[in-house]
């Protein structure tokens, strides 16, 4: 199964994915490819496979992508089918963070008959924030952020939350929930009992 993890910035997606990775060495966490420049502290494959624009174009032409997008009007990011297909065909659990736009692209790819290996093998888990107020606090406390950027992130958070119902599962993150408590809710969906 491919489980896509969605939710607005600040809700705690990456912490949950990190916990899944620590607890489930048998799960597969495919990395995206990106055309953006590597930042200090990053390396090839961490957090992305950094590729050139030409290579990205080649992947598009070869229909290698499950989905891809231009982010922040500059760099391109994409999810390759191949590692996911390989894992799904071996009945492994695959976990990938994505946004609603990305989820819609995945559906389009499946609908076009270009990812048949995902028929009946796709789930999407949306982490719903407790409230906008809590979300603002989390985004602000995480980094020094300018008001304009905060407003942009909030706007995109609102857009995402409005479409949470499109996902196959919703996990409500309560204000008082610890990371472990959220993890338990997510785990109930993913880990077969």
Query: Which residues in this chain contact ligand 5GP in the complex, by CB under 6 A?
Result: 32, 36, 67, 69, 71, 77-79, 99, 102
Q: 37 in helix, strand or coil?
A: coil
Query: Which residue, 98 or 173, is less far from ligand 5GP as judged by CB?
Result: 98
For the CB of residue 32, give the shortest distance to ligand 5GP in the complex, in Å.
3
- Degrees (nearest 5) of the Cα angle 67, 143, 40? 65
Query: Which residue, 160 or 183, is less far from ligand 5GP as judged by CB?
Result: 160
Query: Which residue, 148 or 193, is less far from ligand 5GP as judged by CB?
Result: 148
For the CB of residue 107, give the shortest distance to ligand 5GP in the complex, in Å.
13
Tokens of 141: 């406390």
Annotate 147-173 with DSSP letters as a single string. Answer: HHHHHHHHHHHHHHHHTGGGSSEEEE-
> What's the rounded Cα separation, in Å, for the pair 193 and 188?
8
Query: Which residue, 41 or 192, is less far from ligand 5GP as judged by CB?
Result: 41
* Nearest residue to ligand 5GP on Cβ basis: 32
For the CB of residue 193, give the shortest distance to ligand 5GP in the complex, in Å.
30
Cα torsion angle, 26, 27, 30, 31, sign: negative
- 94 in Cβ contact with 3 (< 8 Å): yes
Best CA proximity match to 14, nearest among 34, 29, 33, 1: 29
Phi and psi of 160, rounded to 5°?
-65, -50
For the CB of residue 71, give the shortest distance to ligand 5GP in the complex, in Å.
4
> What's the rounded Cα separation, in Å, for the pair 80 and 59?
8
Query: Which residue, 16 or 32, is less far from ligand 5GP as judged by CB?
Result: 32
For the CB of residue 44, give the shortest distance to ligand 5GP in the complex, in Å.
14
Query: Which residue, 65 or 183, is less far from ligand 5GP as judged by CB?
Result: 65
Tokens of 91: 């009945």
For the CB of residue 29, give the shortest distance to ligand 5GP in the complex, in Å.
12
């Amino acid at each position: 199964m491919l489980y896509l993890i969605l939710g607005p910035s600040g809700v705690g997606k990456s912490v949950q994915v990190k916990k899944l990775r620590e607890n489930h060495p048998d799960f597969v966490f495919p990395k995206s490819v990106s055309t953006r420049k590597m930042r200090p502290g990053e390396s090839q494959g961490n957090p992305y496979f950094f590729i050139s624009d030409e290579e990205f174009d080649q992947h598009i032409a070869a229909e290698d992508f499950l989905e891809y997008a231009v982010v922040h009007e500059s760099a391109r990011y994409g999810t390759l089918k191949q590692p996911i297909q390989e894992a799904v065909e071996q009945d492994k659990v695959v976990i990938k963070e994505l946004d609603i736009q990305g989820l819609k692209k995945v559906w389009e790819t499946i609908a076009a008959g270009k990812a048949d290996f995902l028929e009946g093998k796709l789930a999407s888990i949306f982490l719903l924030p407790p409230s906008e107020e809590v979300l603002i606090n989390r985004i602000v406390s995480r980094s020094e952020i300018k008001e304009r950027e905060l407003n942009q992130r909030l706007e995109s958070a609102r857009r995402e939350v409005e479409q949470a119902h499109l996902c196959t599962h919703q996990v409500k993150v309560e204000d008082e929930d610890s990371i472990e408590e959220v993890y338990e809710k997510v785990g109930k969906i993913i880990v077969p009992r």
